């Protein structure tokens, strides 16, 4: 049985031709940049902490000071953001390692399918984390007058700025992850397996 480009194709599960596979440098470099983006978002948000002391009352002439801390772990949405981006960066790291070191590893021809499905899962997780953290930060920045929730960014400005930087890097990582997922799915097309009949 011959395939379109004349490579020897075996019948059954091992239909992936393992010879003459050019390395996809664009895919690999996109993964490296996405790994750096999501890893930096995780680290910046996880080390986001600010302590500030306020004068809450005055007795006579001496003000009473209370110390308030703003940490990322106070908000469940930011905890989820850190976890999701940590997962995304770990996934990218594993994929980069597999690409560089383990190109011969294959699971009965399912390698491309596994990569595509895992990429799908990670891009949905990362976008969920981004969505939650974006709207929590918007709430912290603008407050909500209807629910009488005061904004906190005017008092904790460095905390808010660092959170914003983490969010922007996470968005860049998310867009790159989406492009990587599309490329992984397109790779499934290249082995003459597509069926033109709809489900």
Partner 1 sequence: MAKTWRICLLLLRFLAFSATLASVIVVTTSHERVSFLTISIEAKYTNSAAFKYFVIAYSIVTVYGFLVLFLPQESLLWRLVVALDLVFTVLLISSISAALAIAQVGKKGNDYAGWLPICGQVPKYCDRVTGGLAAGLIAVITYIVLLLHSIHTVLDPLLLRKN
Query: Among residues 62 and 192, whose Cβ is nearest to partner 1?
Result: 192
The least CB distance from residue 128 to partner 1, in Å, is 4
101's CB contacts (< 8 A; 6+ apart) are none
The owner of tokens 């809450």 is 56
Q: Decide whether 53 or 150 has the Cβ nearer to partner 1.
A: 150
**Minimum distance of partner 1 from residue 89's CB (angstroms):** 18
Quote the least distance from Cβ 69 to partner 1, whole Å: 8
Q: Which is nearer to partner 1, 103 or 124 (CB)?
A: 124
Enumerate the β-bridge partners of residue 58.
63
**Gyration radius of the chain over CA positions:** 24
Give residues with Cβ within 8 angstroms of 184, minimum separation 6: 27, 112, 115, 116, 119
CB-based contact 106:18 (threshold 8 Å):
yes
Residue closer to partner 1, measured from CB, 29 or 69 = 69
**Please, what is the minimum distance in Å from the beta carbon of residue 26 to partner 1?**
19
Which residues form the interface with partner 1 (CB under 8 A)? 11-13, 15, 68-71, 74-77, 80, 109-110, 112-113, 116-117, 120, 123-124, 127-136, 138-140, 144, 146-150, 152, 178, 181-182, 185, 188-189, 193-199
Half-sphere exposure of 155 (CA within 13 A, CB side): 14
């Amino acid at each position: 049985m011959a395939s379109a480009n004349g490579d020897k194709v075996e019948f059954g599960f091992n239909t992936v031709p393992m010879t003459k596979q050019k390395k996809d440098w664009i895919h690999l470099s996109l993964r490296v940049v996405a790994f750096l983006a999501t890893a930096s978002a995780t680290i910046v948000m996880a080390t986001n902490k600010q302590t500030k002391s306020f004068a809450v009352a005055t007795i006579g002439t001496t003000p009473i000071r209370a110390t308030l801390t703003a940490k990322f772990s106070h908000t469940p949405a930011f905890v989820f953001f850190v976890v999701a981006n940590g997962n995304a960066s770990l996934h990218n790291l594993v994929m980069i390692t597999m690409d560089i070191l383990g190109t011969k590893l294959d699971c009965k021809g399912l390698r491309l399918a596994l990569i595509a499905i895992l990429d799908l899962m990670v891009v949905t997780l990362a976008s969920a984390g981004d969505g939650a953290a974006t709207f929590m930060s918007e709430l912290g920045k603008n407050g909500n007058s209807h629910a009488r929730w005061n904004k906190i960014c005017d008092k904790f400005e460095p905390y808010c700025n660092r959170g914003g930087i983490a969010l922007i890097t996470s968005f860049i990582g998310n867009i790159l992850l989406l492009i990587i997922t599309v490329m992984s799915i397109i790779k499934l097309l290249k082995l003459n397996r597509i069926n033109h009949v709809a489900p």
